[in-house]
Amino acid sequence: MSYLTAQPAERILLGPGPSPVPQRVLRALSAPTLGHLDPQYLTIMDETCAMLREVFGTKNALTFPVSGTGMAGMECCAVNLVEPGDEVIVCVNGVFGARMKDVMERCGAVVHALEAPWGEGYTIEQITAKLDQHPKAKVFAIVQAETSTGALQPLEGIADVVHARGALLLVDAVTSLGGHELKVDAWGIDAIYSGTQKCLSCPPGLSPVSFGDRALARMDARKTKVQSWYLDVSMLRKYYTGGSGAGGGRVYHHTAPINMTYALREALVMVLEEGLDARIARHAAMHQRLRAGLADLGLGYIPSRSLHSLNCIRIPEGANDGAVRGRLLTEYGIEIGAGLGVMAGKAWRIGLMGHGSNVRNVDLVLAALRNILK
Amino acid sequence: MSYLTAQPAERILLGPGPSPVPQRVLRALSAPTLGHLDPQYLTIMDETCAMLREVFGTKNALTFPVSGTGMAGMECCAVNLVEPGDEVIVCVNGVFGARMKDVMERCGAVVHALEAPWGEGYTIEQITAKLDQHPKAKVFAIVQAETSTGALQPLEGIADVVHARGALLLVDAVTSLGGHELKVDAWGIDAIYSGTQKCLSCPPGLSPVSFGDRALARMDARKTKVQSWYLDVSMLRKYYTGGSGAGGGRVYHHTAPINMTYALREALVMVLEEGLDARIARHAAMHQRLRAGLADLGLGYIPSRSLHSLNCIRIPEGANDGAVRGRLLTEYGIEIGAGLGVMAGKAWRIGLMGHGSNVRNVDLVLAALRNILK
């Protein structure tokens, strides 16, 4: 068996992620590999964590990229915050809420699901009622940006009712970080995870997480070992916050994905160069531009409050789901997403994330859909 | 806060990993990012898995790169093969054996450790005696290439005694795959994990694993859910072996680290271009060359049977561990490894892995040590 070097096509990634990666980030990815305890690498990692804090809107010392994709971040939060027998409340209104329930149950949690129709969000009243129904709940988990439905869940105010009942607020921000307003400290979020391949426009492979003081106190008070060695924050924090300089104070845990850290660092430099507020405003403007164009084509949204980064639209009557996506890919090199879970065959998901959220892509995908659906 | 693009130095990585990454692999890493369900990406992944089979010496259909570094591969094997209450035997003669014991215990296993002095290996007689002592053991786990001590563990014949007692043979090959003889099928290995950043000379970020029929049968017979969602092979296999073509038969699990897969694929192309046997012979020859040079310098090995890929040597009397490694790094740009665990302050670890295992590096590190230790 022998193969040549692969030559991946230059797609325009307008699906649910990965999003288009800027050349600058790809170049950073291919910089020379350093050792994971090299002083230069430790500086690169420290700078990456510092920039992640800015983008998360937090001063949490324990803010770092987990060495896996977004789902590893979800699992990292769950295994560290939950002990067997703990009651937790998980909001389930899409694939990722359902996954969080599954992940929590695998940690031995007793999960109380707060269900909502797919595409809908939750009010503070619904959340408060559920918390009052389960006063022993130790964690309240909710998805800010449900990638399967495109629904945006507002988070302001939730921490107040959660903390008043002694629970921790855990948030999934995989498809919002760097593209939507997100204020970890101001909104009282105790633990949060995201991915690199969405609004940060870095390839997939890392999952930024952040843990606040309440979450650290919960972890410090654990009676049982964290079931995952790879994701055990009690060890990871000795590496990620152990000090700086020539390995001083750092405790080796596992070999970090060195080159992926370079890419994430460069992607964050680009976020801060643009300015986080400007970037969020750009995502909002491009969403409005796409929404207006889709309305002209007679295409409607599924969620009542849509993400700016992911547009989940109803497949029009008579259109062949696979054929349309296939033509977009082969004729235009454009990837959009199929429906996921109960949305399969019913929805298309058009991502406008990070570097990919621009006028050129919006107008192109609208032109392509106009042509294909005519 | 604002940062410029990072400019990682061009180190010569002669530590315990990561190893030097060829420019070809770095270029592959920075190819355009595809979607994880793009037909082109699925082909790239299928080819990567096919080449992994060749390098592992197996026909196992379930051979794929776990989306994390080497320790994620270890955890993947443990969580899938072990259920709470299962008895397992783990050989502990270094840091990675000790970690495997820890990981297994976190899965709820009752672990019987087969201890040996650090740097030493095991005989078939010792293994047989331990198996007979614990006839209910369901897994026998051993490290082929103990990265903390540089000891090589021969594996031929072990499967016979393990299988005769109904147990599975699990092997850690993180520092051997692609640099040492390793024949998964011929040696009867049921489950194995490795890393990309050692003898394959790809950046860290993926962990190749392979599961044979006995391991699959064990997983199919599980009574409990795998405790890790991220590493649950019952779901992962639907993505990695679900079929080919335009997403047909594939079931989405998580977003794979796309660009890391490109890099691994290119690294494997290079392994097969060189020829696996030639590559293994090169590692042996470079080890002998280094060993002879170290003897001239009066430097001795710690393990009785050394890996070719990692040379664990005793720090000579009077030498300052940190100062010597510091000078190697600052004056020569050479990274070698410190001692790990009980070896801290007593050992240096000189890696000659993959692309880094060549005459130029051997003679350079010897010249540098001669100069610094004079």
How large is the average pLDDT for residues A161-186? 98
Distance, CA of A261 to CA of B172 (rounded, Å): 26
Q: Give the model confidence (pLDDT) of B137-195 as tens digits.
A: 999 999 999 999 999 999 999 999 999 999 999 999 999 999 999 999 999 999 999 99
Q: Which fold has domain B12-17+275-373?
A: Aspartate Aminotransferase, domain 1 (3.90.1150)
How large is the average pLDDT for residues A139-154? 97
Q: Give the model confidence (pLDDT) of A296-310 as tens digits.
A: 999 999 999 999 999
**Nearest residue on chain A to B254, judged by CA atoms?**
A71
**CB spacing of A40 vs B265 below 8 angstroms:** no
Are A45 and A240 spatial neighbours (Cβ–Cβ below 8 Å)?
yes
Distance from the Cα of A123 to chain B's closest Cα (Å) equals: 29
Specify the pairing of strand A207-211 against strand A310-314: unpaired
How large is the average pLDDT for residues B197-208? 98
How large is the average pLDDT for residues A128-144? 98
State the pLDDT at residue A341. Answer: 87
Residue A127 has pLDDT above 50, yes or no: yes
Structure tokens at A279: 């970037």
Name the band, by pLDDT with cuts 50, 70 and 90, for residue A1: low
Chain B residues in contact with A5 by the CB 8 A cut-off are 24, 28, 266, 269
Chain A residues in contact with B32 by the CB 8 A cut-off are 8-11, 21, 26
CA dihedral B170, B174, B180, B181 (to 10 degrees): 20
State the pLDDT at residue B353. Answer: 98
Residue A331 has pLDDT above 80, yes or no: yes
**CB spacing of A18 vs B265 below 8 angstroms:** no
Q: Which residue of A30, A47, A102, A265 is the best one to mutate when testing the B interface, meaning the one whose CB has the most B CBs within 10 A?
A: A30
What pTM was estimated for this model as a whole?
0.97
**CB contacts < 8 Å between A and B, how many?**
252
**CB spacing of A20 vs B35 below 8 angstroms:** no
Name the band, by pLDDT with cuts 50, 70 and 90, for residue B214: very high
Residues 6+ apart with CB under 8 A from B285: none
State the pLDDT at residue A245. Answer: 41
Give the closest of A38, A44, A105 to B335, CB-based: A38
Distance from the Cα of A11 to chain B's closest Cα (Å) equals: 7
Distance, CA of A38 to CA of B11 (rounded, Å): 10
Distance from the Cα of A370 to chain B's closest Cα (Å) equals: 23
Distance from the Cα of B130 to chain A's closest Cα (Å) equals: 26
Distance from the Cα of A164 to chain B's closest Cα (Å) equals: 31
**CB spacing of B9 vs A107 below 8 angstroms:** no
B155-to-A223, B144, B148, B183 alpha-carbon distances in Å: 39, 7, 18, 9
Q: Looking at the domain that runs over A23-271, which CATH code has it been given? A: 3.40.640.10
- Burial of A290 per CB tally in 10 Å (0-12, 13-18, 19+): buried
Distance, CA of A133 to CA of A154 (rounded, Å): 22
Distance, CA of A68 to CA of B255 (rounded, Å): 10
Q: Report the candidate in A224, A217, A216, A254 with the shortest Cα–Cα distance to residue A236.
A: A254
Specify the pairing of strand A337-338 against strand A347-351: antiparallel
Give the closest of B75, B205, B272 to A229, CB-based: B75
How large is the average pLDDT for residues A98-111? 98
User: What mean pLDDT is reported for chain A?
Assistant: 96
Could you tell me the residue ranges of all domains in chain A?
12-17+276-373, 23-271
Distance from the Cα of B92 to chain A's closest Cα (Å) equals: 17
Tokens 């060749």 found at? B54
Residue A8 has pLDDT above 90, yes or no: yes
**Nearest residue on chain B to A253, judged by CA atoms?**
B71
Distance, CA of B290 to CA of A97 (rounded, Å): 55
Give the closest of A20, A41, A71 to B229, CB-based: A71
Distance from the Cα of A322 to chain B's closest Cα (Å) equals: 10
Residues 6+ apart with CB under 8 A from A59: A53, A185
Give the closest of A35, A50, A272 to B335, CB-based: A35
Strand partners, A59: none
Residues 6+ apart with CB under 8 A from A245: A39, A42
Q: Give the model confidence (pLDDT) of A351-363 as tens digits.
A: 999 999 999 999 9
In this structure, the number of other CB atoms found within 10 A of the CB of residue B42 comes to 24
- Tell me the three-class secondary structure of chain A, residue by residue: CCCCCCCCCCCEECCCCCCCCCHHHHHHHCCCCCCCCCHHHHHHHHHHHHHHHHHHCCCCCEEEEECCCHHHHHHHHHHHHCCCCCEEEEEECCHHHHHHHHHHHHCCCEEEEEECCCCCCCCHHHHHHHHHHCCCCCEEEEECEECCCCEECCCCCHHHHHHHCCCEEEEECCCCCCCCCCCCCCCCCCEEECCCCCCCCCCCCCEEEEECHHHHHHHHCCCCCCCCCCCCHHHHHHHHCCCCCCCCCCCCCCCCCHHHHHHHHHHHHHHHHHCHHHHHHHHHHHHHHHHHHHHHCCCCECCCCECCCEEEEECCCCCCHHHHHHHHHHHHCEECEECCHHHCCCEEEEECCHHHCCHHHHHHHHHHHHHHHC
In this structure, the number of other CB atoms found within 10 A of the CB of residue A145 comes to 28
Residue A67 has pLDDT above 50, yes or no: yes
**CB spacing of B258 vs A229 below 8 angstroms:** no
**Nearest residue on chain B to A24, judged by CA atoms?**
B5
State the pLDDT at residue B292. Answer: 98
Residue B10 has pLDDT above 60, yes or no: yes
Chain A residues in contact with B257 by the CB 8 A cut-off are 69, 203-205, 257, 260
Residue A367 has pLDDT above 60, yes or no: yes
Q: What percent of chain A has pLDDT over 90?
A: 94
**CB spacing of B72 vs A69 below 8 angstroms:** no
Q: Which residue of A229, A258, A320, A330 is the best one to mutate when testing the B interface, meaning the one whose CB has the most B CBs within 10 A?
A: A229
**CB spacing of A30 vs B29 below 8 angstroms:** yes
Q: Report the candidate in B266, B275, B257 with the shortest Cα–Cα distance to residue B202.
A: B266
Q: Give the model confidence (pLDDT) of A32-51 as tens digits.
A: 999 999 999 999 999 999 99
**Nearest residue on chain B to A44, judged by CA atoms?**
B6
**Nearest residue on chain B to A52, judged by CA atoms?**
B1
How large is the average pLDDT for residues B23-46? 96
Name the band, by pLDDT with cuts 50, 70 and 90, for residue A150: very high
Backbone angles phi, psi at A66, to 5 degrees: -65, 145
A187-to-A50, A58, A143, B119, B193 alpha-carbon distances in Å: 19, 10, 14, 52, 42
Name the band, by pLDDT with cuts 50, 70 and 90, for residue B1: low
**Nearest residue on chain A to B17, judged by CA atoms?**
A35
ipTM: 0.96
Structure tokens at B8: 């990682």
Give the closest of B15, B18, B47 to A3, CB-based: B47
State the maximum Cα–Cα separation within chain B, in Å, rounded to a whole number: 64
Residue A317 has pLDDT above 70, yes or no: yes
Distance from the Cα of A50 to chain B's closest Cα (Å) equals: 9
State the pLDDT at residue A251. Answer: 81
**CB spacing of A29 vs B229 below 8 angstroms:** no
**Nearest residue on chain A to B262, judged by CA atoms?**
A6
State the pLDDT at residue A103. Answer: 98
Distance from the Cα of A77 to chain B's closest Cα (Å) equals: 12
Residue A204 has pLDDT above 80, yes or no: yes
Q: Which residue of A14, A111, A230, A235 is the best one to mutate when testing the B interface, meaning the one whose CB has the most B CBs within 10 A?
A: A230
Residue B243 has pLDDT above 90, yes or no: no
The class of domain A12-17+276-373 in CATH terms is alpha beta
**CB spacing of A32 vs B21 below 8 angstroms:** yes
Distance from the Cα of A58 to chain B's closest Cα (Å) equals: 14
**CB spacing of B40 vs A255 below 8 angstroms:** no
Residue A244 has pLDDT above 50, yes or no: no
Residue B5 has pLDDT above 60, yes or no: yes
**CB spacing of B106 vs A272 below 8 angstroms:** no
- Tell me the three-class secondary structure of chain B, residue by residue: CCCCCCCCCCCEECCCCCCCCCHHHHHHHCCCCCCCCCHHHHHHHHHHHHHHHHHHCCCCCEEEEECCCHHHHHHHHHHHHCCCCCEEEEEECCHHHHHHHHHHHHCCCEEEEEECCCCCCCCHHHHHHHHHHCCCCCEEEEECEECCCCEECCCCCHHHHHHHCCCEEEEECCCCCCCCCCCCCCCCCCEEECCCCCCCCCCCCCEEEEECHHHHHHHHCCCCCCCCCCCCHHHHHHHHCCCCCCCCCCCCCCCCCHHHHHHHHHHHHHHHHHCHHHHHHHHHHHHHHHHHHHHHCCCCECCCCECCCEEEEECCCCCCHHHHHHHHHHHHCEECEECCHHHCCCEEEEECCHHHCCHHHHHHHHHHHHHHHC
